[in-house]
Structure 1
Amino acid sequence: MRRFAFLDAPAPLAFAHRGGAAEGDENTAEAFARAVALGYRYVETDVHATTDGVPVVFHDSSLLRLTGTDGRIGALSWPDLRTVRIGGAAAIPRLDEVLDAWPTIRFNIDVKAEAGAEPTVAAVRRAGANERVLLASFSDRRLARLRALAGPEVATSMGPAWVARLRLASLAGVRVSPPPSVAAAQVPVRQGPVTIVDRRFVTTAHRSGLQVHVWTVDDPDEMNRLLDLGVDGIMTDRLDVLRNVYRARHIWPGE
């Protein structure tokens, strides 16, 4: 496997997706604290940037679903956004606040828009968190920008184009050589009717020096099936379910 400090824990890794989105207060300090209290050491989260360049932890571009407030994060300044509440209670945290609050936790950061790339990398550097983050995106162009800004020592995931190459390589029985900072293929089990994660995909990723992290899996039977295939990490909204599956297999961290 490619060596990154981000991955310096025994696989398979357990990721709290948005801190545990099933609880309803996703991507908040309260969600992250709850995940850490349950024993999670890897947290998946999302970042947008405000108009004044502050990276904030939030999934949607719109505030409406989680706050009931109309507006887009990219059109608001941090002073405007800091008064908004999720579910009427939880504040929207800044990325630097989250990195500082949990200095031993690994954060898998999905940068959701172009404007968030530079502020995210700057916040990671200021926090001295280069070795405990992985930068992700659903945009190959955005990932290229993140890699250029962060340098090869900061772990990144594969974008859609490289995932497609890896899938085709698995069918052909050949390896791939993605950019040096790529540590993992982070993928759903399937994309529409197309299966992505099967034994050939996992084997090819491993032969290429990459881990395979699968999102977002909430069913215990599916978790067990994926673990039997040899995946290196699972992201879930149901923190209790994944913890129970790992405990039953005697692979829960620290136990």
Structure 2
Amino acid sequence: MATEKIKIKLQGHEKFALREGWINKALQILPENPDAFTRRDATDLFGIGSNMVKSLRYWMRAFGLTNNAGTELSETGRLIAQYDPYLEDSFTLWIMHSYIAKNEEFATTWFMYFNRCDAEELEKSEVVTILSREIKKYVNGGSFSEKSLSNDVDVLLNMYSRNKEKLNPEDKNISPFSHLALIKKLDGKYVKCHPSKRIFPEEVVLYELSLRLIGNEGISIEEVLFGEKGIVKIYNLSSVMANDYLDRLDTAGYIRVDRTAGLDMIYPVRELNPRNIIEDFYENN
């Protein structure tokens, strides 16, 4: 019996990191123009070059903002279009980051970096080496392009970090994800950083828990924090920070955290719906 081929995606972005203003273009244009990405006049419609249009189409899908065909906004895409089309709230960026960091099929490098690259301080070449090793294990003998992986790593590191010496608030080439400050470039190395509590609202953790609790009466703290696609991994939280957020959500009456008798479980106290959590955040902040 033939082994099912494992799907991965490298370099779907045409070597363009996501830029300020791109997502807003798609959020505005796509609802009225389902064929926007494939039209002959797509470059005029979006006001960017043809390869950038292809890149934007990729990013919209990689962040879970469109259907697979890129012809309509997803539920999350519609919510962001309604409440924060210019990505001005860090909550929006975290929700988008949540999707791409768990998107092993369509944003494989992002998934591998945030889930399977535990070293906190690395040169770019070291990141490539680690991710290459992890992808080889993941595809179980399948082939992939090392060059495409290297290009992916370039884009990822540029998206999430920025050179402070060259920082210009008017520079539209800056990625909005640099504002999350998850990666810092220091002396030629890229350092993973814990998010600032100032821009990391507890509703981000509540959103993650709501996804994990779908169809479950409870989940283990170990799994939700430290497992694959766990909160500590994809948001680079410290264990202390992560547990603090759980305790705050417990105090607020959303969940019950049970650490007695070695159970270490999380139970929902009220119904947790991902869509409702996103809507409630926007309407109350």
Same fold, TM-score > 0.5, yes or no: no
Q: Which has the higher contact order (CA 8 A, sep 6+)?
A: 1
Larger-gyration structure (1/2): 2
TM class by smaller structure: under 0.3
Give TM-score scaled by structure 2 length. 0.26
Give TM-score scaled by structure 1 length. 0.28
Indicate the structure with greater strand content: 1
